[in-house]
Amino acid sequence: MTRGGRNLVILGVASVVVAFVTTGVSLALYHNSGDIYLDRSRPGYLPDEEEIEDEPVEEVYVLEKSGLVTKQILDEYLEAYGVELDAIDAYKDPFTMTVLEDEKLGIPTE
């Protein structure tokens, strides 16, 4: 192996070691600072007490798990879909910024 080839291998190994060390340090900081518990995408995330909803969320319509589509199932789905579509059509000026207000989105304000 030539001197240039050996230096290239050393550079590659050193860069991998630096990457592992910096990643390990950043993960340790992430865990020790407590930010790991604020990450909502983690499966073990526990919501704050004020975020827990007391009343169950009702589902509008759930399709059959069997995957079977019959005329009756399709009619029930279209009926449930029509209710949601009517609720959307009831908005005044649906393309204004007022539809994104906290009150209309159901977000409680303090």
For 47-73, write each residue's pLDDT tens digit.
Answer: 556 656 666 666 667 777 778 888 988
Q: Hunting for tokens 């209710």 — which residue is that?
A: 83
- Is the predicted pLDDT of residue 31 greater than 60, yes or no? yes
pLDDT at res. 13: 97
Residues 6+ apart with CB under 8 A from 51: none
Residue ranges of the alpha helices (H) in the chain?
A: 3-32, 71-89, 102-105
- Which of these, 69, 68, 57, 62, lies nearest to 106 by C-alpha position? 57
Indicate the domain borders of the chain: 1-42, 60-110
In this structure, the dihedral spanned by the alpha carbons of residues 42, 48, 49 and 52, taken in order and rounded to 10 degrees, is -50
In this structure, of 2-6, 69-73, 106-110, the range with the lowest mean pLDDT score is 106-110
Q: Which of 81, 104, 80 is nearest to 92 (CA)?
A: 104
pLDDT at 93: 77
